[in-house]
Amino acid sequence: MATIQVSGEVRTAEGKGGARKLRASGQVPGVVYGSGEAAVALCIPQRDLEKALQRRADGNVIVQLKVAGATPAERMSIIREVQRDPLSGRVLHIDFLQINMTEKLTLKVPVGSHGLAAGVKTGGGVLEHITREIEIRCLPGDIPERVVVDVTALQINEALHVRDLKLDKVEILTDPDAVVVTVAPPTVMEEPKAAEAEAAPVEPELIGKKPAEGEGEAAEEKGGDKGGEKKK
């Protein structure tokens, strides 16, 4: 597993106000804890930390952390959490977990894929990544930076599961039946169905509709007959 060096110093400015001042001066607030030692608040130059994180981009690394003013000044650790500004991406805070190289620890490692699946190449399928990371337990020196699975033999509707992963000196804690990657069938676009013939609209009956030719005369004749009967 790769090892990187990060240097900082003990942080005296506490609270949100102190953190803002540190960031304004080009420092990133953070903390290191674990392995039975008291937690230490620290700060690291923004530029140096960004360079270190670039080396970590592809997976886990062990950090040789040097903190001026702390006892002990040097601590082996791993990066536990990085908080970034959602808009600028700038690191706002970082947590280091101090480790003992002779004691096992539990952590998560990223899972990626390699190759072009046969079901994608010849069948037009779609490779879907279901599980992006797995939880493992091992000694710090045995932590894999990342896990890469070969998908070239996968046909449509086939999948690789966690149980198919083979890692030396590592105990996998994630559910063995969990799907890591699968090749889904190609999406078939259905042609729109022919629109059904629309029923002819029913013309609403109009109130006060003008009588058709002849209707008025018939009414008058009927009324005239009734009037004649009364006179008799």
Report how far residue 148's alpha carbon sits from residue 114's, in angstroms, rounded to the nearest whole number: 6
Domain-located, residue 125: yes
Domain containing residue 46: 3-100
Q: Which pLDDT value is given to residue 78?
A: 92
8 Å CB contact between 9 and 27: no
Read off the pLDDT of each residue in 113-132 and give the average, rounded to a whole number.
96
Are residues 9 and 43 in contact, defined by beta-carbon separation less than 8 angstroms?
A: yes
* pTM for this model (two decimals): 0.70
The per-residue pLDDT for range 163-192, each reduced to its tens digit, is 999 999 999 999 999 999 999 999 876 666
Of 11, 176, 22, 183, the closest CA to residue 91 belongs to 22
Domain match, 19 and 37 both: yes
Interstrand relation of 133-138 and 171-172 (parallel, antiparallel or unpaired): antiparallel
The reply to whether 76 and 114 lie within a common domain is no
Domain annotation covers residue 165:
yes
pLDDT computed for residue 37 by the predictor: 87
Rounded Cα–Cα distance for residues 19 and 24 (Å): 9
Nearest-5° angle of CA 143, CA 49, CA 19?
A: 120
Residue, of 16 and 115, whose pLDDT is higher: 115
Instruction: Say if 62 falls within a structural domain.
Output: yes
At which residue do the structure tokens 């990342």 appear? 146
Least confident of 5-14, 60-69, 105-114, 191-200: 191-200
Residue 176 · residue 161 · CB < 8 Å: yes
Measured between its terminal Cα atoms, the distance across the chain in Å is 124
Are 46 and 110 contained in the same domain?
no
Q: Which residue type sits at 53?
A: L
pLDDT digits (tens, 9 = 90+) for 30-66: 999 998 888 999 999 999 999 888 876 657 889 999 9
Verify that 83 and 169 share a domain, yes or no: no
**Do 87 and 111 sit in the same domain of this protein?**
no
Asked whether the predicted pLDDT for residue 232 surpasses 50, the reply is no
Give the pLDDT confidence score for residue 210 in this predicted structure: 56
Q: Residue 96 falls within a domain, yes or no?
A: yes
Q: What is each CA distance from 55 to 5, 63, 84, 112, in whole angstroms?
A: 11, 11, 17, 17
Show the tokens assigned to 2. 């790769």
Both 7 and 96 in one domain: the answer is: yes
Q: How many domains does the chain have?
A: 2
Residue 137: CATH number of its domain = 2.170.120.20
Task: Look at residue 23 in the predicted model and tell me its pLDDT.
Answer: 92
Sign of the CA dihedral running 50, 140, 97, 162: positive
Q: Are residues 75 and 155 in the same domain?
A: no
Q: Which of 126, 104, 106, 105 is CA-nearest to residue 116?
A: 126
Q: What is the pLDDT of residue 35?
A: 86
In a domain, 82, yes or no: yes
Does 213 map to a domain? Answer: no
Residue at 30 is within a domain: yes
Residues 144, 14: Cα–Cα separation, whole Å:
35
Res. 131 pLDDT band, cuts 50 70 90? very high
Choose the weakest-confidence range: 3-7, 59-63, 98-102, 218-222. Answer: 218-222
217 in any annotated domain: no
